[in-house]
Amino acid sequence: MEANRKYLDPQMLAKLEGLELRAKRVIEGYVAGLHRSPYHGFSVEFAEHREYAPGDDLRYLDWKVYGRTDKYYLKQYEEETNLITYLLLDTSESMRYASNAASLSKLEYAKCVAASLAYLVLRQQDSVGMVTFDDQIRHLVRQSSNPSHIKQLLHVLEDATANRKTDTGRIFHDLAERLKKRGIVLIFSDLFDDVESMMTGLKHFRHRRHEVILFHLLDPAELDFPFRQTTKFIGLEELPDVVTDPRSLRKAYLEEVGQFVRAVQRGCRSNNIEYVQIRTDQSLEIALSAFLSKRMLHTA
């Protein structure tokens, strides 16, 4: 299958052997890595009560119900032991940019990262879903832990194109309401949007008790601004083209980019969101290994 070869490099995946995606926090609603439940034999979503029977574990008696009814009832929980991972991929027009210093556009790089993480999550028998978005939700693939689910995810990645504006704040609010089961939300984007609106949307995920990881993908030219000669900059997402001498802009541009990145990082820190910046000239293997190893260290 063409998408397999395009987005899943067997040699790179072999080097990630032994690495897993784990949640950092054990909270009600999902299990932090390798199916460890905080309920010791009970799964984690409350479903209903059942009447106590001799031999039942008294730790799960509902004393409030006993106080109202003078009868013994146990809390029962739905079987929900899989970690759920949601992959959210920004397919807005700015994501298709690639300078001469990068072999992949931001979108193609993000697709490779998302595909690799989806493969790893399914390999560890956990569930993964996927969303592609710009100013609308383009595809929403429900989570599954079936190994064959990777085919559908790769098909969605193959079809994703970058042609429109983005509207992260509104999209994140919408998705926070749609993604009912709590889990890890991984977002892949260059984040070129209003920071305040975007952060308000991200806070909605945290309010819904999701763990959020923000992959900030940037082309090296966007960070280093290496242009020297008079250059025509092509406007994306409905912005106009500009012809200018980049040397006169470089200092102001770098200051503006620095302020933008710092504002995103501050917003992430204040909302307990993990921020991961990736340059698209960085080796995919190195980027993924560093990210996964760090998380495994923190959840060991």
Q: Give the mean pLDDT of 118-126.
A: 93
What is the Cα–Cα distance from 266 to 198, expressed in whole angstroms? Answer: 13
Q: pLDDT at residue 239 above 50?
A: yes
Residue 120 lies in a domain: yes
| Shared domain check, 210 and 67 | no
Between strands 211-218 and 84-90, the pairing is unpaired
Residue 113: its pLDDT value, please? 96
Residue 35 lies in a domain: no
Residue 268: its pLDDT value, please? 97
Q: How many domains does the chain have?
A: 2
If one counts every other C-beta atom within 10 angstroms of the C-beta of residue 13, the result is 17
Residues 255-285 have pLDDT tens digits of 999 999 999 999 999 999 999 999 999 999 9
Percent of the chain with pLDDT over 90: 56
| Shared domain check, 132 and 264 | yes
Please give the DSSP secondary-structure letter assigned to residue 45.
E
Residue 33 lies in a domain: no
| Shared domain check, 168 and 67 | no
- Using pLDDT thresholds of 50, 70 and 90, give the confidence band for residue 26: very low
Q: pLDDT at residue 35 above 60?
A: no
- Domain extent for 294: 2-27+82-299
CATH label of the domain that carries residue 262:
3.40.50.410
Q: Which of 1-10, 155-164, 232-241 has the highest mean pLDDT?
A: 155-164
| Shared domain check, 65 and 11 | no
Residue 63 lies in a domain: yes
What is the Cα–Cα distance from 296 to 300, expressed in whole angstroms? Answer: 6
- Using pLDDT thresholds of 50, 70 and 90, give the confidence band for residue 81: very low
Residue 156 lies in a domain: yes
- What pTM value is reported for the model? 0.79
| Shared domain check, 219 and 188 | yes
| Shared domain check, 181 and 285 | yes
Residues 161-208 have pLDDT tens digits of 988 889 999 999 999 999 988 999 999 999 999 999 999 999 999 999
Q: pLDDT at residue 30 above 80?
A: no
What Cα–Cα distance (Å) separates residue 115 from each residue in 25, 41, 97, 120, 276?
24, 33, 20, 9, 17
| Shared domain check, 185 and 173 | yes
Residue 237: its pLDDT value, please? 56
- Using pLDDT thresholds of 50, 70 and 90, give the confidence band for residue 65: confident
Residue 28: its pLDDT value, please? 38
* E-assigned strand segments in 40-136: 45-51, 73-78, 84-90, 127-133
What is the Cα–Cα distance from 247 to 53, expressed in whole angstroms? Answer: 79
Q: pLDDT at residue 27 above 50?
A: no
